[in-house]
Each structure stands twice: as structure tokens, then as C-alpha cells.
């Protein structure tokens, strides 16, 4: 365990930034926080979490794939993928860090997505433990310990110091390049005990997902609750765009008359034209699209991934849905129906 005084945080950020691009959660000037490239004058936010997760740095909202230069009947393929340079992302919360395991299972399975793979190889994740979790947090439901997050490096902060623990080879290599002081873990242990007491008292900590773990999942799929729950859904896709585990994307071409740019961009299963093909779409109603989103996170994904749910309990969808519909309400409604 190592530490550095909070008063020297800028010196720490400067030392990291001199080696690699550094991103930290910083206020965006509109009352929210986002991961921002660090520079002198940019300070760490005091907000619990960013509006969008650190997923953006590994799976960008828009990403170049390839260009095609067309001259008559001749087509040349032009490599135009965005260069993935080494970078460090500081201040990732336990929930967002856990989302990388879910994304890895999607993008690093055969066939491997080399765009995502390159960013994962080039990125160093520094997590920051939660000492003041919000009432909308429920990461503990999924076995995530917000007081002891994973990552290449794990950090804790109190009023005086930042405590630092390297967990991986990447983390060790970064640690060796920094001027940090050795210390014991007494202060961290005390903070963890207090944080876990708070986490245990959160209103959503006891969320029951047992309705999705038995053999009667067809009953869940055919539940009349879906029509009731989806009735007010706007299909805006906000929940999918703030979600750290959503991985749907569309591939599009843009022809400027000289060449064709092929890129991918985030898509949402809540949209009426999602996976639209020549015959139309296979989910023509809002109820079917709504059901697909939550069935995927609570049923389909865990059934294919050793029981790991496709949610990490970050609470962003609870905060951002304009009609206050979210995965917690869905889980509770289906559980009550079963009971």
C-alpha cells in the first residue's frame, strides 16, 4: 500500500500525464461530470459518478472502421481506424470497473473485436472506492464491493491522503514510475468498514432477482406485466446510452462522392428501427423492444455467461429515465407477480 497527500494530487496527475494520456472525472460546467483529458486547471469532481461511464474510452460512441476509395470499377481499401495510444483512466468506480468484465465477454470472445481489444491493452484502469454511495446504487446485488473495487490500481481517498494499491502488472509498472510513499492499510481498512455499513443500508441493497434464476423463464417472457410496464416508455434510448454494459452498435457508410467512410456508432434496442432489415424489424412494438432490453440483462446474458447478469447496479438508468422506468422497477414488478 502506498499514499500521497491530497494536496499533491495535481502533481500525481501531472506525473501520470507526462507518460500517457490521462482521463479523470471532472465537472463539465453543466452540473454533471464526465471523463475528461487532464490538464493543468482541471480538478477531480466531487460527484459520485459521471453521467456516462468509462466505457466510452474503450468502446467509443462513434468509431471509424475503414474507408473505401472508389474510382470507376476500382475500389481501394484505406485504413482509417483511430490510433489507440496508451492511456490511463483515473477514478473509475467499482460498478463501472465490473462492466468491463461484461464487455470483455462480448468483444473479446471469438471473433475478437480488435478495435476494443487494442484499447483494453493500451488502457490502465485506476479505480476509486466509494465512501459516499447514493440511494440509487445497488452494485452489491451483483456481488460488487464498492469499498474494494478491482482495476489495475485501486485507490481510496480521505480528507488527507490518496491511498494506492497496485493489482496487476500494468498497475505495478505505473506505480514504479511514480513518487509515492509506503504506508500500512489501517486507514483504508477503517474506511472500508464504514463504507460497507452504508452500503448494507441502501434501499436497493436487498433487490431480489430470484424470479430470473429458475426454470420457468418462459413465464417471465409471457408475463402480462410487460405491457403494463412498457406503456409509458418513450423509446428514447436514454437508458442504453448511459448504461456501462450496453454494447449494441450499428455500422453505417457515408459517401462524400470521393470515398466511402464506414463507421460504427452506438445503437439502442429501444429504437423502432433497431436491426431494421429488408423485411422490416423483428420487434415491431414498444412492448417487445422494452422486454428485449430487460430480458437480455436479466435472463439471456446470465444464461450464457455463468450466471453473470448484464447489469452492475450503477443506478444511472434510475437517475436519467425521463419517465422513471428502470431495471429495478421491472425486477420488482416481475417478482411481485411471481409471488
pLDDT bucket at 171, cuts 50 / 70 / 90: very high
pLDDT at 119 over 60: yes
What whole-number distance in Å separates Cα of residue 274 and Cα of residue 308? 25
What is the per-residue pLDDT across 76-93, written as a single tens digit (0 to 9) for each? 998 888 777 999 999 999
What whole-number distance in Å separates Cα of residue 246 and Cα of residue 243? 6
- Residue 145: closest CA among 199, 188, 90, 99: 199
Domain spans of the chain?
A: 2-61+83-201, 210-338
Q: What is the pTM of this model?
A: 0.93
Query: What pLDDT shows up at residue 272?
Result: 83
Rounded to an integer, the average pLDDT of 161-183 is: 96
What is the per-residue pLDDT across 195-233, written as a single tens digit (0 to 9) for each? 999 999 999 999 999 888 766 688 889 999 999 999 989
Cell representation of residue 32: 454533471
What is the per-residue pLDDT across 126-161, written as a single tens digit (0 to 9) for each? 999 999 999 999 999 999 999 999 999 999 999 899
Cell representation of residue 25: 472525472
> What interhelical angle do 94-107 and 114-122 show, nearest 10?
140
Provide the 10 A C-beta neighbour count for residue 201.
Answer: 10
pLDDT at 337 over 90: no
Query: What pLDDT shows up at residue 315?
Result: 95
Q: To the nearest whole percent, how much of the chain has pLDDT over 70?
A: 97
What is the per-residue pLDDT across 239-298, written as a single tens digit (0 to 9) for each? 999 999 999 999 999 998 888 999 999 999 999 888 777 667 678 889 999 999 999 999
CB-based contacts of 7, cutoff 8 Å, min separation 6: none
In whole numbers, what is the pLDDT of the chain averaged over residues? 92
Q: Before 142, cis peptide (omega within 30)?
A: no
pLDDT bucket at 72, cuts 50 / 70 / 90: confident
Q: Edge-to-edge strand order for the sheet containing 2-5?
A: 33-37, 21-27, 87-92, 123-128, 153-157, 161-166, 2-5, 181-182
Is residue 162 a contact partner of residue 155, using CB atoms and an 8 Å limit? yes
What is the per-residue pLDDT across 42-56, written as a single tens digit (0 to 9) for each? 999 999 999 999 999
- Residue 146: closest CA among 159, 162, 133: 133
Query: What pLDDT shows up at residue 73?
Result: 82
Provide the 10 A C-beta neighbour count for residue 247.
Answer: 20
Amino acid at each position: 500500500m502506498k499514499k500521497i497527500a491530497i494536496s499533491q494530487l495535481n502533481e500525481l496527475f501531472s506525473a501520470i500525464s507526462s507518460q500517457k494520456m490521462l482521463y479523470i472525472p471532472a465537472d463539465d460546467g453543466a452540473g454533471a461530470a464526465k471523463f475528461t483529458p487532464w490538464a493543468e486547471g482541471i480538478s477531480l469532481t466531487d460527484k459520485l459518478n459521471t453521467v456516462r461511464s468509462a466505457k466510452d474510452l474503450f468502446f467509443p460512441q462513434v468509431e471509424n472502421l475503414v474507408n473505401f476509395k472508389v474510382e470507376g470499377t476500382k475500389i481501394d481499401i484505406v485504413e482509417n481506424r483511430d490510433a489507440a495510444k496508451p492511456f490511463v483512466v483515473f477514478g473509475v468506480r467499482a460498478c463501472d470497473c465490473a462492466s468491463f468484465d461484461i464487455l470483455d465477454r462480448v468483444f473479446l470472445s471469438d471473433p475478437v473485436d480488435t478495435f476494443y481489444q487494442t484499447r483494453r491493452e493500451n488502457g490502465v484502469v485506476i479505480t476509486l472506492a466509494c465512501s459516499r454511495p447514493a440511494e440509487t446504487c445497488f452494485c452489491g446485488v451483483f456481488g460488487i464491493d464498492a469499498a474494494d473495487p478491482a482495476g489495475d490500481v485501486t485507490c481510496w481517498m480521505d480528507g488527507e491522503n490518496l491511498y494506492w494499491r497496485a493489482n496487476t502488472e500494468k498497475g505495478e509498472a505505473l506505480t514504479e514510475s511514480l513518487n509515492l510513499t509506503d504506508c500500512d492499510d489501517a486507514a483504508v481498512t477503517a474506511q472500508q468498514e464504514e463504507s460497507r455499513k452504508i452500503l448494507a443500508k441502501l434501499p436497493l441493497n436487498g433487490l431480489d432477482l430470484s424470479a430470473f434464476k429458475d426454470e420457468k423463464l418462459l413465464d417471465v417472457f409471457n408475463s402480462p406485466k410487460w405491457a403494463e410496464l412498457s406503456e409509458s416508455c418513450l423509446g428514447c434510448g436514454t437508458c442504453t446510452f448511459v448504461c456501462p454494459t450496453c454494447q449494441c452498435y450499428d455500422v453505417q457508410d457515408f459517401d462524400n462522392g470521393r470515398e466511402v467512410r464506414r463507421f460504427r456508432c452506438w445503437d439502442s434496442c429501444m429504437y423502432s428501427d433497431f436491426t431494421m432489415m429488408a423485411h422490416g424489424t423483428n420487434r415491431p412494438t414498444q412492448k417487445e423492444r422494452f422486454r428485449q432490453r430487460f430480458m437480455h440483462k436479466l435472463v439471456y446474458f446470465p444464461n450464457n455467461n455463468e450466471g453473470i447478469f448484464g447489469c452492475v447496479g450503477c443506478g444511472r438508468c434510475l437517475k436519467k429515465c425521463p419517465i422513471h422506468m428502470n431495471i429495478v422497477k421491472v425486477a420488482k414488478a416481475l417478482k411481485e407477480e411471481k409471488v
